Structure 1
């Protein structure tokens, strides 16, 4: 067998379903050619390879590269002042209704140059890649006018080209109503759906379409219009659903065959059953739950009961989840939501890939991209156990070390 690289003296948590916990193969070998995995299994059974570099990993564990399937990584400024307000007793909704929250980030993002947005986003990205992330989703939604939304999406694409990570973009035009449209939100909805989205799509900047469906954001009827437009353009959809209240977001996501419904703290059993039937992934965001001092966790037992796949993501954003560590998100998902470590790690690999509509990563298996993370751990559960410990030894992106 011809190969470019073989990894030996290692253990692999393949994250394949069925079989051993974590899909674990101890004393393993991984063979890589042309950026893909061509063989994985016990080292004693590894095929003979020609011309391959040999990486000896000194007994370390390999997992699929982690996938952060929900971030708002590109934005201007920060909202540490609102953090202080919340600690003083103000609620997220009170701050938003008073003109803070998302719209304060809009002003800072509009004022920032593409170069400044790229520089600040890559600083935050460093925290994600240092915790094993090889694929990241990045949303727009802090521009809320044509030029600024396109600016954010161009920066996200640049990150994917230059910053050592694979990027998927989501257009989040229905994130908040910008200040200049407060008196005529219908005009903004028209702009976001009929003007900005088609232009962003025509420029090749959009992989999926997202919306924030809440009483403080956008109604189900407004989201339906957006999703119908996305469908006409051939784009998949996602939804910030039922975070602060049960607004039927889970059912709406299911009706449109969304890739994922994210947050879902207040989703009903009817909505969860609909998600299960439609194959919609529930993306759990423990950083936002922590920072907002929420008391109603996602209905994990109902999600398990109905067989809804659960992903885990950082929700890295300036207001409600300033989390730039994927392993921290795994720990919080276990501690706050009572996921098992195996569920959490699957949620940041195999299931996170599904939440982005990706079928070529998230599992260490023949035919998959050789996006891998190598860890200084004794067992996979440590990735969910340590909070803040430097566990990553190296990453491979398409078979190349980064």
Structure 2
């Protein structure tokens, strides 16, 4: 949300306690405010607290002076938007059969040897158009938003070549501008080893470092980089070199 809004008659405002990052059991500490109000100005929450007292009156005065839209929460609760910190929401194809294999106890590498895994999705994603990625990715983001998710980390990694990896990041940038869910882009060109580099992980990392990462950085297409560090995929030395 980028605009102004005044929310009143909130039954409960539940948010994290304090102003620093929490970890472990402390993450369960919530600050709950009964009978609250929230003032949003230019997309920034400037007041969140009880619906009485001088601070609330000041927020109310601002809202009235600016003719901010008024939303009556009618006693419902308000919580921060959820953050999905690991997604690959841009892809083509499906691997539903792998649920059955996983239920049988097959490992990732066993599924990979059966023709499943990342390689199968990468093949389908390479064949998908930019428009197809926009359409399917937008639908998934809409579903996430309906469930309260307002920020996602979106990883590439289902192209495993220069063209498709860049296409995924470009589609994420377009979607970030088109809809309300905030997208934090991560370049994950080293998600798996593509067939054209079979048995040559070091050479593939050389290719990514020389041919893809510079363009991602130059065009500011991603904020982070990620790699699948796993035996028989990308070992520790190659992972360190890539990152």
TM-score normalized with structure 1 length: 0.53
Deviation at 1:89, TM superposition (A): 4.9
Give the number of equivalent residue pairs.
225
Deviation at 1:55, TM superposition (A): 1.0
Q: How does 1:217-228 map to 2 (within 5 A)?
A: 217-227=233-243
RMSD of the alignment, in Å? Answer: 2.0
| SS, match of residue 30 in structure 2 | helix
- Correspondence for 1:122: 138
1:176 and 2:196 matched: no
> What do the CA deviations read for 1:331-358 (whole angstroms, capped 9, x no partner)?
xxxxxxxxxxxxxxxxxxxxxxxxxxxx
Equivalent pair of 2:38/2:45 in contact (CA under 8 Å): yes
Stretches (4+) displaced over 4 A: 18-21
Q: Which runs of 5+ in 2 are unaligned?
A: 20-25
Equivalent pair of 1:144/1:192 in contact (CA under 8 Å): no
- Correspondence for 1:297: none
Q: Which runs of 5+ in 1 are unaligned?
A: 228-402
> What do the CA deviations read for 1:169-196 (whole angstroms, capped 9, x no partner)?
0011111000110042222111112221
Structure exhibiting the larger radius of gyration computed from Cα positions = 2
Deviation at 1:88, TM superposition (A): 4.6
* Aligned partner of 1:30 among 35, 38, 41: 38
> What do the CA deviations read for 1:15-55 (whole angstroms, capped 9, x no partner)?
13389941111101111111111111110120242223221
| SS, match of residue 92 in structure 2 | coil
Equivalent pair of 2:87/2:155 in contact (CA under 8 Å): yes
2: CA distance, partners of 1:119 / 1:87: 31
1:195 and 2:211 matched: yes
Deviation at 1:73, TM superposition (A): 0.6
1: CA distance, partners of 2:4 / 2:212: 44
1:147 and 2:163 matched: yes
2: CA distance, partners of 1:88 / 1:15: 40
Which fold has the larger relative contact order, with Cα–Cα distance below 8 Å and residues 6 or more apart in sequence?
1
Equivalent pair of 1:15/1:63 in contact (CA under 8 Å): no
Equivalent pair of 2:156/2:165 in contact (CA under 8 Å): yes
1:63 and 2:79 matched: yes
